[in-house]
Amino acid sequence: MLLGAALLATPALQAQDDVVLANPTLEDGSFIVKYDMANHCFAADNDFEIDETFVFAIDVTGTEYETALKNPSRNPNVLGRGMAHDFYVNNDVTGFEHYSNGGNLDGRLFHIEGNIYGAVFNLFQLAQGRYKDTCFGLYTEDGADRYDAMQPGATVTFGANHFGFGWSADNIGEEWWDAIAAPITNLWFRTAPYTGTKTGADFYFDDFECVPFEGNDAEIADKGYAMPQFWDQLIGTNGVSIIGGDDADAPVEYYNIQGIRVENPAQGLYIVRQGAKARKVVLK
């Protein structure tokens, strides 16, 4: 199943400045991880709340993974490779009054397109399903469970490690953390301030008819977690919120792949935004 001991087997971590992901970043340095499956682009920001279902994605373009995941394994048993994740709550280092447990939520990401990997998540459900919901500040009041993370205006800050893995016919973690590329350890992101208006219905991985992991037929029942192709069943077609209106006459804006606005774009890959629509384009 999903391996919870990944950090215990971590090789020497890559220096933070060595990795430049292709995800857009916000002014505070946090990464935009919300992905629009319908329009094949990242959102304008992370507007999901802690108990909302959304598509998480990481773009490994320009990192060691871009080539490493395509290279044959040194292990003859390995049939293929992919990306994995390891989320942990630090909330600007555990600012929740009732925080306990590191909230280490690990598992697999799935190939979406190009160098982009991801999954559909509801992070609150995932934490509950792993018996680690205390990482969101669980406490009891008036006989009911309550959470610091679900107080009005609360945000949750996540750090994340990402790493490659390989699988074999009888081991879905044959190459877990081993000999693919140094882990990406400098990804961090925040939820939107909590309003309680964006909650998602409970779902489990095995709610869907699919082979759970490529190369492995094992059944799993992870809560709040699914392959990205089921995004439309879980969150509908309105996967992201794009800043601006939907006026066809709205001004055209160009952003580089890091999410920084470019006034005079030259050759290269850009995100073009006009009103409510955004797309990736290559200028030649």
The terminus-to-terminus CA distance of the chain in angstroms comes to 45
- Can you tell me the distance from the alpha carbon of 95 to that of 205, in angstroms, rounded to the nearest whole number? 31
pLDDT value for 219: 59
Least confident of 124-128, 136-140, 190-194, 257-261: 257-261
Whether residue 156 contacts residue 50, with contact meaning beta carbons closer than 8 Å, is answered with yes
Whether residue 152 contacts residue 179, with contact meaning beta carbons closer than 8 Å, is answered with no
The CA angle 209-212-213, to the nearest 5 degrees, is 145
- Can you tell me the distance from the alpha carbon of 53 to that of 125, in angstroms, rounded to the nearest whole number? 9
Q: Which tops the pLDDT comparison, 168 or 234?
A: 234
Q: What is the mean pLDDT of residues 91-107?
A: 75
- Can you tell me the distance from the alpha carbon of 128 to that of 204, in angstroms, rounded to the nearest whole number? 12
Residue 13 has pLDDT above 50, yes or no: no
Q: What is the mean pLDDT of residues 85-91?
A: 82
pLDDT in tens, 50-83: 999 999 999 999 888 888 888 888 888 888 888 8
Local confidence band at 250 (pLDDT 50, 70, 90 cut-offs): low
pLDDT in tens, 220-230: 678 898 889 88
pLDDT value for 48: 95
Local confidence band at 4 (pLDDT 50, 70, 90 cut-offs): very low
Name 243's Cβ contacts closer than 8 Å, sequence gap at least 6.
44, 45, 273
pLDDT in tens, 203-212: 988 887 665 4
Local confidence band at 153 (pLDDT 50, 70, 90 cut-offs): very high
CA dihedral 69→163→65→77, nearest 10 degrees, is: -20
Q: What is the mean pLDDT of residues 263-275?
A: 73
Name 93's Cβ contacts closer than 8 Å, sequence gap at least 6.
none
